Amino acid sequence: MTFPTSPNVDPLHTRPLGTTGMSITRVGFGAWAIGGADWVYGWGTQDDRDSVAAIHHACASGINWIDTAAAYGFGHSEKVVATALRAMPPSERPYVFTKCGVVGDEQKGSQELRFVGRPESIRRELEGSLSRLGVECVDLYQMHWPSTDGSTIDEYWGTLLDLKREGKARAVGLSNHNVEQLEAADRMGHVDSLQPPFSAISRDIAAGGLPWCQGHDTGVIVYSPMQSGLLTGKFSAARAKGLPGNDWRTRSPYFTGDGLLRNLALADALRPIAQRRGVEVGAVAVAWTLAWPGVTGAIVGARSPAQVDGWIAAARFDLTVDEMREIAAAIKSTGAGTGPVAPAGA
């Protein structure tokens, strides 16, 4: 498989995604925000033309995978991804990862979600994703969240394993699951990947999930490495206050009160490293997640080509030991977030 690249862009380094046989670039395109505004975790109004342009620019910059989900705009994100893919030669299209298990509540509309794991629902959701994406097989199919509908992990993980055997998914994984749940799934069949939240603010997965995955040959693709914009270096208290009501971040404690001030202080502490490296603050934040043992790649969102340019450099440099210590000290001094501040022994 080859991928579109700009003529003056060096190929991005790749890492094996567990035992899947896929090697993925250290950063991938995250398609959460391009799902639009019309659902409870929307990011405000988004122009689909900008979204397609962002995907094309990411792929032209060397990225070889996209992560989306049926829940993002209840299928809208997948449709936008499909639009972008159709304009690319089949041999140059990126890997496409998507997720299942989160659906709208038929009675309450798009502002309420149900977390489902029944086999018939999972199969129905996959058929919907295949149709919207215009593909016959999903490269990675993931359970988005643990179910709350009474179904067990044996039911939904067993279904994902069946779909892999049937050739409808090349690999299967779990998103937002803890070590106990990973253990339960792994007893049934290998967990190809885990997708957890991970950033210099949200660090809890480093205490258990990352070491578990590293010890079980499970790939890890982390999401929100810039903490949904807070660690881009372009966010501010004024911007947080001005977010539209249909942006989910207005309801997040990370974006309000003392939590917001601590997080913005941490972003400011990353500026000296960014200036020395000649990159933007967001690229340093992403590179921090990639420095942790066990992390295969980071999912980074963008709603325009310019936003891609703000973080793509993270795929091309490694933070030094001294820089990691500098960031650990900043995390401690600002009091931002929770979880380990540096890899063991660093």
- Tell me which residues are annotated as active site: 72
- The rounded distance, in Å, linking the Cα atoms of 62 and 54 is 13
DSSP assignment letter at 288:
H
Q: Which amino acid is at 119?
A: P
Q: Which residues of 272-296 are buried (b: 16+ CB within 10 A; e: fewer)?
A: ebbeebebbbbbbbbbbbbbbebbb
Coil, strand, or helix at residue 265? helix
Coil, strand, or helix at residue 195? strand
Look up tokens 């997080």; give the residue.
263
What DSSP letter does each residue of 68-124 carry, written as one string? --TTTTTTHHHHHHHHHHHTS-GGGPPEEEEEESEEEETTTEEEEEEE---HHHHHH
